[in-house]
Amino acid sequence: MKEDSTTFIQFNDSIHYKGVWAIHRNDENTEYVTIEFAGNPNYYYLKDGQLYHSEREMINNNFGTKIQYLN
């Protein structure tokens, strides 16, 4: 995640994606980030160092993928 609100995601299989991100808060005032991919502004959800494919998975802390930030 870059300061200009762009992202560069690289998976273990070396596939990588570029997108944009935005900060949000839900009704419980929990802060999370959405990451755009292929025109879908809510394709990924990022919270507490884990990447999720849906808001429901993020809220329930299910199926998250731990991420590593690179410089």
Asked whether residue 53 is domain-assigned, the answer is: yes
Q: Which amino acid is at 56?
A: R
pLDDT in the model for residue 63: 93
pLDDT at 55 over 80: yes
Dihedral over Cα of 21, 37, 68, 51: its sign: positive
Per-residue pLDDT tens for 57-69? 988 999 998 887 7
For residue 21, being part of any structural domain is answered with yes
Range of the domain at 18: 6-66
Please tell me the total count of domains within the chain. Answer: 1
Is position 71 within any domain?
A: no
Report the C-alpha gap between 1 and 15 in whole angstroms: 16
Give the model confidence (pLDDT) of 3-53 as tens digits.
888 888 787 787 888 888 888 888 887 888 888 877 777 788 888 888 898
CB burial class (10 A; 0-12, 13-18, 19+) of residue 29?
exposed
In this predicted structure, what is the pLDDT of residue 71?
A: 62
